[in-house]
Homo-oligomer: A and B are copies of this chain.
Amino acid sequence: MPAEPSSVNLEEWFDRLEDSGYRLTKPLRVVAEVMAKNSYCTLSPTEVYDLGREHYPKLGLVTVYRTLEKLEEVGVIQRVHQAGGCNSYIAAPSGHQHLLICRNCGRVEYFQGIDLTDLVSRVEAKSYYSIQDHWLQLIGLYKSCQ
């Protein structure tokens, strides 16, 4: 059921960005590439900046922020919330999946097979809310960190 983060199709990312009217610039390509190549772990804007400059030293931190925003907007990456902070991102899986994060090394897996729709609508029926979304994350220790 748990799966390695599906390897990313960078061309598809670029298509989505173009479809949303964004231009495919060098800095954008570099940032996207960094996120795509590190789809198994979370990265903060600064970490993306450092990795990006290895390939493209001119890259500016401001552009990293702006590009992460775009990538999140078109849905190819997502923000990850952790006890230590909520400013890192990871490649989003296709479809709706949940995160399993290692508290120690930050390694990430996605898992499927937990379907909450029944449980959620049961709660909805008994509350005064219309539930639009849910957010489930598992936290633990990866094999080599136990």
Copies held by the complex: 2
Q: List 9 A-B contacts (CB under 8 A).
A: A100-B131, A114-B116, A129-B138, A130-B146, A131-B139, A132-B139, A132-B141, A134-B139, A135-B139
Query: How many Å from the CB of A133 to the closest CB on chain B?
Result: 4
Neighbouring B residues of A102 by C-beta, 8 Å: 129
Cβ-based interface call for A58 (8 A): no
Cα of A43 to Cα of B142 in the assembled complex, Å: 34
Residue of B1, B111, B135 touching A136 (CB-CB under 8 A)? B135
Pairwise interchain contact A129-B114, C-beta atoms closer than 8 A = no
At the interface, yes or no: A86 with Cβ under 8 Å from chain B? yes
Return the chain B residue nearest A120 by Cβ: B138
Partner of A134, one of B113, B122, B131, B138: B138
Closest B residue to A135 by CB, please name it. Answer: B137
**What is the distance, in angstroms, from A26's C-beta to the closest C-beta of chain B?**
30
A140 at the interface (CB under 8 A from B): yes
Contact with B along A89-123 (1 / 0, CB 8 A): 00000000000101100000101011010011011
Residues of B with C-beta under 8 A to A116: 114, 136
Q: Check A119/B114 contact, CB under 8 A, given A134-B136, A135-B139, A139-B135.
A: yes
Instruction: Decide: A134 and B137 in contact? CB cutoff 8 A.
Output: yes
Q: Which chain B residues lie closer than 8 Å to A1 at the CB level?
A: 122-123, 126-127
